[in-house]
Amino acid sequence: MNPDLKRASLLRKQGQYESARELLLQLIRTSPDDPALWLECAFTHDAMGLEKEAVPYYEKAIRLGLPEPLLAEAYLGLGSTYRCLGEYDKSLRTLEEGCRKFPDDRALQTFLAMTCYNLGEHARSMEIMLTQLAETTNDTNLSKYRRALLFYADKLDQIFR
């Protein structure tokens, strides 16, 4: 990792958001084709509560082409930011695209479930969340019901007679 990018990331993680932001904006001016800089700048804006300002940084980072682990984080960050801004349709498209590219990424799935909830797609939201819960829990008591949870996850509105 670029030492200046590493320093900016550390500043953000230490809560020194404005210093991180200033450094990142300077780095982007000198290296505008580095997608990792754009992504870190998006994360920093989000951390500052500047979600609307974070969006173009996420979009540019994705367009420039990030390596896989960072690309998944970018989809999650952008989708989550759209959701926070009430732009649920954009959030849905972004998170679904991320889930298509990274089908095993449980964080993306969880954020997709939250967006589905916001869109009134409660059954889909619960299906995703129950599946994630059943497939990841270490709780002994809950694990006993794993098969039932997975079976009912997409049948919550169904009445069995």
Phi/psi at 40 (5° precision): -65, -35
Q: Tell me: pLDDT of 103 over 90.
A: yes
The pLDDT value recorded for residue 86 is 97
> Exposed (0-12), middle (13-18) or buried (19+): which is 57, by Cβ within 10 Å?
buried
Phi, psi of 67 (to 5 degrees): -65, 160
pLDDT(35) > 80: yes
Q: How confident is the model at residue 161 (pLDDT cuts 50, 70, 90)?
A: confident
pLDDT at 31 > cutoff 90: yes
Domain segments of the chain as ranges: 3-123
87 pLDDT higher than 80: yes
- Rounded to the nearest integer, the mean pLDDT of the chain is 96
Average pLDDT over residues 138-154: 92
CATH class of 3-123: mainly alpha
| Rounded-to-integer distance, Cα 52 and Cα 87, Å | 11
Percent of the chain with pLDDT over 90: 95
The pTM assigned to this predicted structure is 0.91
Return the structure tokens found at 123.
């059954």
Mean pLDDT of 35-42: 98
Eight-state DSSP code of residue 1 = -
CB atoms within 10 A of CB 95: 26
Instruction: Indicate if the pLDDT at residue 1 is higher than 80.
Output: no
Contacts of 103 (CB under 8 A, 6+ apart): none
